[in-house]
């Protein structure tokens, strides 16, 4: 177990470069099993979740080296089509190995995946997609899939625009016979990035980034070299830190089209930023006053499938709102337990009311004070770090390893822009 010691009243200023997109790199590692040729991925974040996916790939038979954010990967032969319970339990994207195992072995056996505890997270879209493409599912404690004759393309409609279900279907359909058309697909940047990697490997995918994707199955995929896109959630987290502390920051390694909705939401909090091609500049010393709806009504910030506001940004944005003048309601539509982390902010002095599992009303600005707390999930953990940097006094955040699952070199990046934070080994 690891803990963080965080000194408050931070003066944030400087530049930070974001790493590769966590939620793109994880499904990409699963997809690399589709070919027996070498693939090189650049800009891969060195985080715990990536290491877990590589551990799984290694257990399945892959050889790889991972240094300086470059992953060189090859799986000539798959040793087993079964993944251990312990490895499956480490993260949610372990489930994505089902598709490449079916493609390479005609079968797959996995245990229920782990990941953040933020409420019920359905796997129905995965099972629907694989079974409709021709797999037969069985088992109770484990998920067993069999497709000895291979998979075949068809029309599919997801009842929710699930990111990981869309990724599972992309990987499966790329190696299936015939053409698959997927309706109500997820449109997030990391889904599009996965599709572009698959195309670089020889797949024929069109429409990624929209809610209708067409995948023409190919007989064989090959090696390639590909660069993972920058992580817009990491960028948003640092922008929320600067907004909360009144600091000034330049975030490097961004793409403008990934930040339009984020910029609009921050404008609702009275925080402006400038999208400048490959970086974002957020000036310091802003007034930070909530922009009311027409007629003076309390505004609502809610999440939703892309291009709506990402659920992964809600926790950090709620912390930023505690430091803005005015009242705003946050409506977390996608996960039923994520909003409960606001109780920790209330214990720090935030003026907030948790209405129900999905809504919290925040009025600011509030002077936060230091506490000892524990990180329940990756994004809430980062939000607690931001709150601790705003607070008066020194806070301790336990379960730091949860935060490290999604943020690389966090201490170094924060100290580089003025944060006073160190690690405590328990």
| Cis peptide preceding 323, ω within 30 of 0 | no
> Model confidence at 119, in pLDDT bands (50, 70, 90)?
very low
Q: Which residue has the tokens 């009842």?
A: 159
CB of 170 closer than 8 Å to CB of 201: no
Residue 279: the pLDDT is 98
Residue 262: the pLDDT is 98
pLDDT exceeds cutoff 50 at 5: yes
Which of 14-28, 30-44, 136-150 is predicted least confidently?
Answer: 136-150
Domain at 1-17+229-423: CATH code: 3.65.10.10
Q: What is the DSSP string of 93-153?
A: GGGGGHHHHHHHHSEEEEPPP----SS----HHHHHHHHHTT-EEE-SSSEEEE-TT--B-
Q: Is 77 annotated as a binding residue?
A: no
Q: Is 23 annotated as a binding residue?
A: yes
Residue 116: the pLDDT is 47
Residue 121: the pLDDT is 63
* Residue 363 structure tokens: 């009025």
Residue 334: the pLDDT is 85
Which helix (H) or strand (E) covers residue 204, if one does?
strand 204-206
The residue annotated as part of the active site, out of 36, 55, 116, 193, is 116
Cα–Cα distance between 334 and 349 in angstroms, integer? Answer: 27
Known catalytic membership, residue 116:
yes
Cα–Cα distance between 370 and 245 in angstroms, integer? Answer: 15
Judging by beta carbons within 10 Å of its beta carbon (0-12, 13-18, 19+), is residue 295 exposed, middle or buried? exposed
* Residue 246 structure tokens: 């009144």
* Residue 171 structure tokens: 């990987």
* Mean pLDDT, residues 380-399 taken together: 97
Residue 128: the pLDDT is 97
Task: Report pLDDT digits (tens) over 270-293.
Answer: 999 999 999 999 999 999 999 999
CB of 145 closer than 8 Å to CB of 108: yes
* Mean pLDDT, residues 106-123 taken together: 75
Q: Which residue has the tokens 């609702």?
A: 268
* Residue 27 structure tokens: 């499904």
pLDDT exceeds cutoff 90 at 154: yes
How many other C-beta atoms are found inside a 10 Å radius of the C-beta of residue 77?
9
* Mean pLDDT, residues 365-384 taken together: 95
* Residue 401 structure tokens: 């390893």
* Mean pLDDT, residues 233-238 taken together: 98
C-alpha distance across the termini of the chain, in Å: 6
Residues 6+ apart with CB under 8 A from 297: none
Homologous superfamily (CATH) for 20-225: Enolpyruvate transferase domain (3.65.10.10)
pLDDT exceeds cutoff 70 at 117: no
Mean pLDDT of the chain: 95
Backbone angles phi, psi at 13, to 5 degrees: -160, 140
Q: Is 334 annotated as a binding residue?
A: yes
Paired strand residues for 116: none
Which of 2-11, 69-78, 134-143, 292-301 is predicted least confidently?
Answer: 134-143
3-class SS at 314? helix
Q: How many residues in total does the chain contain?
A: 426
- Return residue ranges of the chain for CATH 3.65.10.10: 1-17+229-423, 20-225
Instruction: Give the alpha-carbon dihedral of 84, 90, 91, 95, to 10 degrees.
Output: 10
Task: Report pLDDT digits (tens) over 61-83.
Answer: 999 999 999 999 999 999 999 99
Pairing of strands 274-276, 279-282: antiparallel
CB of 118 closer than 8 Å to CB of 377: yes
Residue 115: the pLDDT is 58
Give the global pTM. Answer: 0.95
* Mean pLDDT, residues 15-28 taken together: 98
Q: In the sheet that 326-331 helps form, which strands lie side by side, from edge to edge? A: 300-302, 326-331, 359-364, 351-356
3-class SS at 313? helix
* Residue 197 structure tokens: 């990697």
Cα–Cα distance between 400 and 56 in angstroms, integer? Answer: 23
Paired strand residues for 382: none
Task: Report pLDDT digits (tens) over 177-213.
Answer: 999 999 999 999 999 999 999 999 999 999 999 999 9
């Amino acid at each position: 177990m690891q803990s963080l010691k965080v000194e408050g009243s931070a003066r944030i200023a400087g530049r930070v470069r974001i790493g590769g997109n966590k939620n793109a790199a994880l499904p990409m590692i699963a997809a690399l099993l589709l070919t027996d040729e070498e693939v090189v991925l650049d800009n891969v974040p060195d985080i715990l979740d990536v290491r877990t996916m590589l551990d799984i790939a290694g257990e399945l038979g892959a050889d790889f080296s991972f240094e300086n954010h470059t992953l060189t990967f090859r799986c000539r032969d798959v040793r087993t089509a079964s993944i251990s319970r312990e490895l499956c339990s480490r993260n949610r994207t372990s489930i994505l190995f089902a598709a490449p195992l079916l493609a390479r072995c005609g079968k797959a056996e996995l245990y229920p995946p782990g990941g953040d505890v933020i409420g019920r997270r359905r796997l129905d879209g995965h099972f629907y997609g694989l079974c409709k493409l021709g797999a037969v599912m069985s088992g109770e404690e484990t998920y067993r899939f069999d497709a000895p004759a291979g998979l075949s393309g068809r029309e599919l409609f997801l009842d929710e625009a699930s990111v990981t279900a869309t990724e599972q279907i992309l990987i499966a359909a790329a190696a299936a016979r015939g053409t698959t058309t997927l309706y109500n697909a997820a449109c997030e940047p990391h889904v599009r990035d996965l599709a572009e990697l698959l195309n670089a490997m020889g797949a024929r995918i069109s429409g990624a980034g929209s809610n209708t994707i067409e995948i023409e199955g190919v007989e064989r995929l090959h090696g390639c070299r590909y660069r993972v896109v920058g992580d817009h959630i990491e960028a948003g987290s640092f922008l929320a830190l600067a907004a909360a502390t009144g600091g000034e920051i330049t975030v490097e390694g961004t793409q403008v089209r990934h930040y339009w909705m984020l910029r609009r939401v921050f404008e609702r909090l009275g925080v402006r930023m400038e999208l400048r091609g490959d970086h974002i500049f957020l000036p310091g010393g802003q007034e930070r006053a909530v922009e009311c709806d027409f007629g003076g009504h309390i505004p609502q910030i809610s999440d939703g499938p892309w291009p709506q506001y990402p659920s992964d940004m809600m926790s950090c944005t709620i912390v930023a709102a505690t430091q803005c003048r005015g009242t705003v309601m946050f409506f977390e539509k996608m996960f039923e337990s994520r909003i409960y982390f606001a109780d920790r902010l209330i214990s720090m002095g935030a003026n907030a009311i948790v209405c129900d599992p999905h809504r919290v009303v925040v009025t600011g600005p509030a002077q936060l004070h230091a506490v000892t707390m524990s990180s329940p999930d990756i994004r809430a953990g980062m939000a607690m770090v931001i709150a601790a940097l705003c607070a008066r006094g020194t806070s301790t955040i336990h379960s730091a390893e949860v935060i490290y699952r999604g943020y690389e070199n966090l201490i170094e990046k924060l100290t580089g822009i003025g944060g006073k934070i160190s690690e405590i080994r328990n």
